[in-house]
């Protein structure tokens, strides 16, 4: 459950949490036409807190809005400042930050430009899905829903409406007894999970689907690729088949909310030995060190609060 905080940022001002309301004719509510981001702040090992890769997240927010022909009525510096202020105003350290660009009312015709574009930034306490999940991992199945390859470029934008397919696939997986699902495209190639990017490990070689597939170019994905190479692993972006997943030694997903999360069972079978793999564990530790300010190598990724 999300823990309610004192304030949120809406259209340039801090307002009470309960004042973050919109009309039922809000255009984005009907058509999913809006852009979102998910950002984390972390308590730092040397005290205080810092937001992880804030500039990259806000850059993507603006790119996503542009892909949907939405003009954000604030500059990037203002939105970045709104994120830092939202965390500070609510006295948070380990937190999740959700910027939202949405189209308001009163017109629900497709001519979205007839309505005002609005921006909100919400934040609340967050330490990830669960400590147990990070260690013990999740189970997954391949979704019956196909991620359309023809829309691969459009899926580079983090748009509200894109997640309708993810929610459907997630619901299907949970009903079948799994905790998440992996998307394939029309070529039978792996795209991503219902909410995260996917990595497979064979020996000490790491692979993740390339930009040509229908994937979000995740910030955590990019961070893990860099960390993996810095640790000496061969990490590449290439096509991954369903069969390769079933034969992998390790599989893990990456995302802002969950960090690095191992998939230890796929289609009812153990992945590798079924235990938390050494490569996943090494990456989890290195990523946590980067996010929590315990690695000088990645201090450039942190925006102190």
List the catalytic residues: 158
> Does some domain include residue 2?
no
Q: Do residue 146 and residue 101 come from a single domain?
A: no
User: What pTM was estimated for this model as a whole?
Assistant: 0.95
> Does some domain include residue 111?
yes
End position of a domain, from candidates 109, 125, 141:
125
Q: 119 burial class (0-12, 13-18, 19+ CB within 10 angstroms)?
A: buried
Q: In the chain, how many domains are there?
A: 2
For residue range 197-206, list pLDDT tens digits in order.
999 999 999 9
> What residues does 302 pair with on adjacent strands?
52
Q: Do residue 185 and residue 269 come from a single domain?
A: yes
Provide the total of helices (H) and of strands (E) in the chain, helices listed first: 8, 17
End position of a domain, from candidates 81, 98, 125:
125
CATH of the domain at 104: 3.30.470.10
Q: What is the dihedral of CA 8, 13, 18, 20, to 10 degrees?
A: -80
For residue range 100-117, list pLDDT tens digits in order.
999 999 999 999 999 999
For residue range 25-70, list pLDDT tens digits in order.
999 999 999 999 999 999 999 999 999 999 999 999 999 999 999 9
72 with 119: CB under 8 angstroms? yes
Q: What is the mean pLDDT of the chain?
A: 95
Q: Do residue 148 and residue 27 come from a single domain?
A: no
Confidence of residue 238 (pLDDT cuts 50, 70, 90): very high
Q: Do residue 146 and residue 272 come from a single domain?
A: yes
Terminus-to-terminus CA distance in the chain, angstroms?
25
Provide the residue range defining the domain that includes 45. Answer: 7-125
Q: Do residue 191 and residue 282 come from a single domain?
A: yes
Instruction: Show the DSSP H helices in the chain as ranges.
Output: 27-31, 54-67, 76-89, 131-136, 163-175, 219-230, 242-246, 278-291
Residue 130's pLDDT is 54
The answer, yes or no, to whether the previous bond of 93 is cis (omega within 30 of 0) is no
Q: Do residue 141 and residue 282 come from a single domain?
A: yes
> Does some domain include residue 118?
yes
Residue 98's pLDDT is 98
> Does some domain include residue 301?
no
Q: Do residue 77 and residue 223 come from a single domain?
A: no
């Amino acid at each position: 459950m999300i823990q309610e905080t004192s304030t949120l940022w809406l259209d340039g001002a801090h307002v009470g949490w309960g004042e973050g309301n919109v009309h039922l004719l809000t255009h984005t509510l009907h058509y999913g036409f809006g852009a979102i981001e998910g950002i984390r702040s972390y308590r730092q090992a040397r005290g205080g807190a810092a937001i992880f890769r804030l500039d990259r997240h806000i850059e993507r927010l603006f790119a996503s809005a542009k892909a949907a022909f939405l003009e954000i009525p604030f500059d990037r510096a203002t939105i970045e400042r709104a994120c830092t202020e939202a965390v500070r105003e609510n006295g948070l350290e380990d937190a999740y930050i959700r910027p939202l660009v949405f189209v308001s009312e009163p017109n629900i015709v497709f001519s979205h430009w007839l309505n005002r574009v609005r921006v909100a930034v919400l934040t609340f306490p967050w330490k990830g899905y669960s400590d147990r999940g990070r260690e013990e991992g999740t189970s997954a199945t391949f979704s019956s829903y196909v991620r359309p390859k023809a829309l691969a470029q459009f899926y580079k934008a983090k748009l509200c409406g894109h997640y309708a397919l993810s929610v459907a696939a997630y619901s299907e997986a949970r009903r079948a007894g799994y905790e998440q699902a992996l998307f394939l495209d029309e070529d039978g190639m792996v795209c991503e999970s219902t909410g995260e990017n996917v990595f497979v490990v064979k020996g000490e070689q790491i692979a993740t689907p390339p930009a040509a597939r229908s994937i979000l170019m995740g910030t955590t994905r990019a961070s893990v690729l860099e960390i993996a190479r810095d640790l000496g692993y061969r990490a590449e972006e290439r096509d991954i088949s369903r069969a390769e997943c079933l034969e992998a030694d390790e599989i893990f997903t990456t995302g802002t909310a969950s960090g690095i999360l191992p998939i230890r069972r796929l289609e009812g079978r153990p992945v590798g030995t079924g235990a938390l793999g050494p490569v996943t564990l090494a990456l989890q530790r290195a990523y946590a060190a980067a996010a929590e300010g315990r690695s000088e190598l990645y201090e450039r990724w942190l925006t102190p609060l």
